[in-house]
């Protein structure tokens, strides 16, 4: 039988579609899910933890702190606030809470000092700001936002970051502000199970804009001057309205080398994966094969969340305009 050009073309297209793996198929307007009016996801770090060494009273403290931070962000988004403001407000709340390894609760480095990192990124225009190795800025996430909005640069470190923050009118503190007995005792013990404590947040507002932010005190007993993935755009933080927003927590060197946050976005953009598939591929396969530990929280452009970790636990919470709500610790 002779084949007309149009008929052959139709057969070719149908054959290609049949052979195309689900992960490579792009969304069509008909297949797009309905977006939540707003949504927010946050984390307070991931690592090795279990019921035996984590008493119930301590669990309740963390659950309450996570839920309170979540509600703060959701209230702002519900009232018409933007995702950028929500992310900053949520992370500032967690930076001020000594339970978390960020801001007030930052861990100590090998010299017995605190060195803090933070970054923030907006998905609408891919604008970003970050600070690294600071020890006198009360809320590093606000300094990261100031870098993004008030300078042509992306990342300031050390003394330069502090000078910039002071000129921007941010609250500066004496380095002793970050001292807490619990963190100092952890430094003296250098406990392995306290290495991966970082805070992060991703928000989607009613205008369809994503924003992601991350803040950390780093690794307990880390070498002076060491900078992890949290202030590195594409590693610990990434946001793109076309795909998703991501905040990571874990062994930063691996997250930097494998550009974890951007990799999740790229898998969604170029292979058509949904946010859960992409996050699991990176965290549960690529990172494990490489020997990296940690997790991510993500929101796609519809407000659907992925909270994935290859450790035994990750402090996390999620909520949206439909009333869905999750607050959890263990995997």
**Burial of 213 by CB count in 10 Å (0-12 exposed, 13-18 middle, 19+ buried)?**
buried
Pairing type for strands 155-157 and 198-204 reads: unpaired
Question: What is the distance in angstroms between the CA of the first residue and the CA of the last residue of the chain?
Answer: 59
Torsional class of 80: left (φ above 0), alpha (ψ -120 to 50), beta (otherwise): left
Cα–Cα distance between 248 and 282 in angstroms, integer?
Answer: 11
Is 4 one of the catalytic residues? no
The strands making up 155-157's β-sheet, listed across from edge to edge, are 155-157, 128-134, 116-122, 210-216, 198-204, 39-47, 313-320, 325-330
Residues 6+ apart with CB under 8 A from 325: 70, 317, 318, 319
Strand pairing category for 237-239 and 244-250:
antiparallel
109 and 221 Cβ atoms separated by less than 8 Å: yes
Distance CA 98, CA 300 (A): 30
Which residue is catalytic, options 122, 198, 220, 311?
A: 198
R_g of the chain computed on alpha carbons: 21
Kindly report the backbone phi and psi dihedral angles of residue 317, in degrees, each rounded to the nearest multiple of 5, phi listed first: -160, 150
Q: What residue ranges in 240-324 does DSSP mark as E strands?
A: 244-250, 294-300, 305-309, 313-320
| Residues classed as catalytic | 198
């Amino acid at each position: 039988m002779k084949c007309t050009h149009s008929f052959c073309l139709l057969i070719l297209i149908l054959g290609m579609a049949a052979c195309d793996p689900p992960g490579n198929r792009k969304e069509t307007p008909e297949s797009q899910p309905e977006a939540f009016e707003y949504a927010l996801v946050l984390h307070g770090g991931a690592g090795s933890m279990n019921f035996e060494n984590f008493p119930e009273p301590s669990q309740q403290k963390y659950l309450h702190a996570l839920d309170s931070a979540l509600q703060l962000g959701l209230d702002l988004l519900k009232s018409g606030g933007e995702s950028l403001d929500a992310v900053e407000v949520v992370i500032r709340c967690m930076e001020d809470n000594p339970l978390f390894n960020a801001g007030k609760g930052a861990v100590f480095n090998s010299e017995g000092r605190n060195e803090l990192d933070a970054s923030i990124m907006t998905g609408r225009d891919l604008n970003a700001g970050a600070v690294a190795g600071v020890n006198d800025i009360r809320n590093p996430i606000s300094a990261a936002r100031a870098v993004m909005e008030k300078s042509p640069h992306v990342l300031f470190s050390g003394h330069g970051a502090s000078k910039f923050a002071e000129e921007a009118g941010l609250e500066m503190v004496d380095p002793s502000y970050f001292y807490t007995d619990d963190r100092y005792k952890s430094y003296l013990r250098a406990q392995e199970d306290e290495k991966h404590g970082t805070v992060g947040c991703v928000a989607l507002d009613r205008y369809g804009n994503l924003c992601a932010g991350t803040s950390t005190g780093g690794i307990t007993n880390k070498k002076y001057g060491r900078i992890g993935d949290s202030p590195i755009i594409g590693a610990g933080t990434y946001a793109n309205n076309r795909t998703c927003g991501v905040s990571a927590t874990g062994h930063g060197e691996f997250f930097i080398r494998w550009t974890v946050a951007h990799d999740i976005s790229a898998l969604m953009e170029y292979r058509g994966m949904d946010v859960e598939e992409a996050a699991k591929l990176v965290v549960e396969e690529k990172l494990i094969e490489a020997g990296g530990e940690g997790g991510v929280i993500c929101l796609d452009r519809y407000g659907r969340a992925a909270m994935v970790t290859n450790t035994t636990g990750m402090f996390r919470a999620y909520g949206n305009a439909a009333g869905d709500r999750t607050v959890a610790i263990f995997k």
